Amino acid sequence: MTRKLQFDAQPFGFECEVERTALVIIDMQRDFIEPGGFGESLGNDVALLAAIVPACQAVLTAWRQAGGLVVHTRESHRPDLADCPPAKRNRGNPLLRIGDLGPMGRILVQGEPGNQIIDALKPAALEIVIDKPGKGAFYATPLQARLQERAIRKLLFMGVTTEVCVQTSMREANDRGYDCLLLEDCTESYFPRFKTATLEMVRAQGGIVGWTAPSAHLLAAMGKAQNA
């Protein structure tokens, strides 16, 4: 039985089938959410980001219970930094550069404590985990192949930061033919006005990048589908 979900979204209603849809959780890592990681090394106040964790947890729990596919991404580099262009490492004047030793291990390096997804959203066995060297989840990763193997057509996005890795990943997905929806209360930026602007630009022009909706709309639709 396919389970069809239909709910109010902007710029217009969104429809998907659980079996053909993936929940994509972008970079909910200690490096962005906790002090001492990459986000703070760039001069950001990281405190804002933790507020979305309960809403993300609620969606993740419901999506798992429905048997939906879950994809987690991590922005991360190989320990030898061969996949980190010098342009990325040297841009700006960070307190600590990618690969430098910080309080949570080497900044943005695979396997280091700071590079792990926060415990509250820890990937479960068999969920897909994508390590990505870029801001987008498709660049130099096997994500497209993993989604095609499962005939996934639509993506629900959560994670951080809204205008950087989330928006880049949504744009990459949009160009690959996926319908994308961003859960408004499950994403955050270090700059609240950038989050607002991103939500507006995603759904402008008839959904030029995709849809946005509060997570409550998705959860209500999932509750209805279960009772149907």
> Where does this chain bind ligand TIU (CB under 6 A)?
27, 32, 42, 75, 135, 160-161, 164-165, 190
Q: Which residue's CB is nearer to ligand TIU, number 75 or number 172?
A: 75
SS3 category, 226: helix
Q: Which of 78, 74, 113 is nearest to 98 (CA)?
A: 78
Q: How far is the CB of 191 from ligand TIU (least distance, A)?
A: 8
Q: How far is the CB of 131 from ligand TIU (least distance, A)?
A: 12
Q: How far is the CB of 130 from ligand TIU (least distance, A)?
A: 12
Q: How far is CA 100 from CA 22, 85, 86, 105, in A?
A: 34, 15, 14, 8
Q: Which residue's CB is nearer to ligand TIU, number 163 or number 179?
A: 163
Q: Please say if 132 is a catalytic residue.
A: yes
Q: Which of 226, 198, 227 is nearest to 66 (CA)?
A: 226
Contact 167/111 with Cβ under 8 angstroms?
Answer: no
SS3 category, 217: helix
- Written as six digits, the tokens of 106 are 């080497």
Q: Which of 130, 101, 133 is nearest to 22 (CA)?
A: 130
Q: Please say if 165 is a catalytic residue.
A: yes
Set 165, 179, 180, 195: catalytic member: 165
Q: How far is the CB of 214 from ligand TIU (least distance, A)?
A: 21
Kindly report the backbone phi and psi dihedral angles of residue 164, in degrees, each rounded to the nearest multiple of 5, phi listed first: -105, -90
Q: Which residue's CB is nearer to ligand TIU, number 21 or number 115?
A: 115
Q: Which residue's CB is nearer to ligand TIU, number 16 or number 52?
A: 52
Contact 59/23 with Cβ under 8 angstroms?
Answer: yes
> Closest-CB residue for ligand TIU?
165
Set 132, 135, 154, 195: catalytic member: 132
Q: Please say if 31 is a catalytic residue.
A: no
Residues designated as active site: 27, 132, 165
